[in-house]
Amino acid sequence: MRELVWISLCLVLSSCATAPAPLDAASDVRAFVMALRDRDLPGIEARIDRPALQAQVTGIARAMAANEIAKRAGGGEGGQILGVLGADLANPLLERLSKQALEPAILADLARRAGLTPETVLPSRTATSMGLKRLADGRVCAPDPQTKACILYFGRYPSGWKLNALDEAALRGRLAAPAASKARR
């Protein structure tokens, strides 16, 4: 019986040691938030996977543009075709806009608007790790404290953990906000 307990304990500990743990990611996630807080633009840039984020933003913007064009064209099959063609034509513009939206200064300003100021005291590395959620694909995410839904996704890279995706619903809302404010004018 005693041997069974030790074998079980060894298996549990070895599984923890081989899986990427939130504690492993906590230092890099905390460094990313500190860079945002302090407007450390090179620090922000070093902790994001720009190609992955740009592909995500461009893909969502493209889908939103195609849907909007299709809706304005009257829907149906013809509207969908026009939507896809319009989004294809707008793709270079969408790529340029998504690249600009991911500039470190813009990210730092968004963090400032969300309440992250130079006076904000950040939690310790341990507290940060307890706030992160491990995902099945090996990434970790920072969940919204109220809803517990993941909003920032971090992946492991040779140089450390980097932000590589954002919550899609929040991103869609953020991209739709400028269009909605123009429509109200």
* pLDDT, position 16: 41
Instruction: Label residue 179 by pLDDT band (50, 70, 90).
Output: low
In whole angstroms, give the CA distance from residue 132 to residue 142.
5
Q: Which residues contact 18 (CB under 8 A, 6 or more apart)?
A: none
Q: Is 149 helix (H, G, I), strand (E, B) or coil?
A: coil
Helix, strand, coil percentages for the chain (3-state, nearest 5): 65, 10, 20
In whole angstroms, give the CA distance from residue 70 to residue 183.
17
Q: Is 167 helix (H, G, I), strand (E, B) or coil?
A: coil
Summarised one tens digit per residue, pLDDT across range 11-38 is 333 344 444 467 888 999 999 888 888 8
Instruction: Label residue 150 by pLDDT band (50, 70, 90).
Output: confident
Summarised one tens digit per residue, pLDDT across range 72-120 is 777 777 777 777 877 777 778 777 777 777 788 777 776 776 667 788 8
Annotated domain spans of the chain? 22-184
